[in-house]
């Protein structure tokens, strides 16, 4: 049974559209001059520490560099904690003492580094698919964790979370009062010959489409104006295809781009075979149109480095969400 919690709901610092980019600690790219086409930078990643009561930051000096961008740019910088195969959440969230210590450390970090908030990327409460410890109590404990984070961070810092496309593993009605944004990871839901990030349902769409992901989150109790649609800047391919970052895909001359006009999704064909599902400026334009038509808050993408030097995808998302 879900634990019912009450606290005064908080809102994002403003109600403007969101264009968020995940920037990783294992690359060197700095989002300049592209802060002009971003509203949020999510730094990936922090991890739950080995004693389950605080946070370890991957390459703290890089996070400080990103935070410096705030001086001359109108951009929020947020620490994202977790990621695929990142464990420690179940153990940390299982006791009140650990939740409080973890939240206190998050507050220390945002103040020390001059950040704007925390993003929780627990993949996924009550699920061990990524090889992490899980418990049937995780879903309720996730709610308690978000409640504690909001209480500790206060109303002036942002709190968001990343969720699986079909809205499993989270009690959205329970966490809604505490979160500003929910980033729907609408990718990795299929491999060739299926799309991994289709907008609409076609015979080639994967397990979930963006349209279905939005409906699943709405049905689960999250209001549309807190939902951010995640889009991939990389593809998924058959074995041996090679680098699937968008910047690499556009350099290939051994494939043919095809278009699924029902799913509004491109894909690559080699020797007559569907070999790679990916995203491009055309498909992103359709998704941004969908975002605006449905009233979603905006878009986020994984990850910044996968785009080409011209910023083809970054600009497509910005122009689409902002209506330019």
Label residue 32 by pLDDT band (50, 70, 90).
confident
Q: For residue 249, is it within any domain?
A: no
On whether the CB atoms of residues 311 and 37 are closer than 8 A, the answer is yes
Q: For residue 10, is it within any domain?
A: no
CA atoms within 13 A on the CB side of 165: 21
Q: Strand pairing of 158-164 and 265-270?
A: unpaired
User: At residue 8, does pLDDT exceed 80?
Assistant: no
- Other Cβ atoms closer than 10 A to 200: 18
CATH number at residue 201: 3.20.20.80
How far apart, in whole angstroms, are the C-alpha atoms of residue 83 and residue 317? 23
**Residues 6 or more apart from 11 whose CB is under 8 A from it?**
180
Nearest CA to 62 among 35, 25, 31, 33?
A: 25
Full residue range of the structural domain in which residue 109 is found:
18-233+279-322
How far apart, in whole angstroms, are the C-alpha atoms of residue 192 and residue 239? 10
Q: For residue 259, is it within any domain?
A: no
On whether the CB atoms of residues 223 and 214 are closer than 8 A, the answer is no
Q: For residue 263, is it within any domain?
A: no
Q: For residue 242, is it within any domain?
A: no
**Residues 6 or more apart from 258 whose CB is under 8 A from it?**
266, 267, 268, 269, 274
Strand-pair partners of 20: 40, 300
Label residue 33 by pLDDT band (50, 70, 90).
confident
Q: For residue 4, is it within any domain?
A: no
88-91's contacts with Cβ under 8 Å and 24+ in sequence apart are 88/47, 88/48, 88/49, 88/50, 88/52, 88/132, 88/133, 89/48, 89/122, 89/125, 89/132, 89/138, 89/142, 89/145, 90/125, 90/132, 90/133, 90/134, 90/135, 90/138, 90/141, 91/48, 91/52, 91/133
Q: For residue 33, is it within any domain?
A: yes
Token digits for 211? 């349209």
User: At residue 111, does pLDDT exceed 60?
Assistant: yes
pLDDT of 14: 65
**Residues 6 or more apart from 261 whose CB is under 8 A from it?**
none
Write the DSSP symbol of residue 4. Answer: P
What pLDDT digit, counting tens, does each position of 92-105 carry? 999 999 999 999 99
What percent of the chain has pLDDT above 90?
92
Q: For residue 7, is it within any domain?
A: no
pTM of the predicted structure, to 2 decimals:
0.94
Burial of 24 (0-12, 13-18, 19+ CB in 10 A): buried
How many structural domains comprise the chain?
1
What pLDDT digit, counting tens, does each position of 223-252 carry? 999 999 999 999 999 989 999 999 999 999
């Amino acid at each position: 049974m879900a634990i019912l919690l009450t606290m005064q709901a908080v809102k994002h610092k403003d109600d403007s559209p969101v264009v968020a980019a995940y920037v990783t600690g294992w690359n060197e790219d700095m989002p300049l001059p592209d802060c002009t086409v971003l509203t949020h930078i999510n730094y990936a990643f922090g991890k739950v520490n080995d004693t389950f009561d605080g946070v370890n930051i991957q390459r703290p000096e890089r996070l400080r560099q990103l935070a410096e961008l705030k001086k001359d740019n109108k951009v929020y910088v947020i620490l994202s904690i977790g990621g695929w195969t990142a464990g420690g959440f179940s153990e940390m969230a299982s006791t009140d003492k650990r939740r409080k210590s973890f939240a206190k450390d998050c507050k220390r970090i945002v103040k020390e580094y001059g950040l704007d908030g925390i993003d929780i990327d627990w993949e996924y409460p009550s699920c061990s698919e990524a090889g992490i410890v899980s418990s049937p109590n995780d879903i309720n404990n996730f709610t308690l964790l978000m409640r504690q984070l909001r209480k500790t961070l206060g109303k002036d810092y942002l709190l968001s979370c990343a969720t699986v496309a079909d809205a499993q593993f989270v009690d959205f009605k329970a966490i809604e009062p505490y979160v500003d944004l929910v980033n729907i990871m609408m990718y990795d839901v299929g491999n060739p010959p299926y799309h991994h990030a289709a907008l609409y349902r076609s015979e080639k769409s994967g397990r979930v489409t963006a349209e279905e992901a939005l409906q699943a989150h709405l049905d689960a109790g999250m209001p549309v104006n807190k939902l951010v649609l995640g889009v991939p800047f990389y593809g998924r391919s058959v074995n041996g295809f090679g680098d699937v970052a968008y910047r690499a895909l556009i350099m290939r001359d051994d494939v043919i781009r095809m278009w699924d006009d029902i799913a509004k999704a491109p894909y690559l064909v080699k020797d007559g075979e569907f070999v790679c599902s990916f995203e491009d400026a055309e498909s992103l334009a359709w998704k941004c149109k969908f975002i605006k038509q449905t009233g979603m808050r905006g878009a986020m993408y994984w990850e910044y480095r996968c785009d080409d030097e011209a910023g083809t995808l970054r600009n497509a998302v910005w122009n689409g969400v902002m209506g330019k």
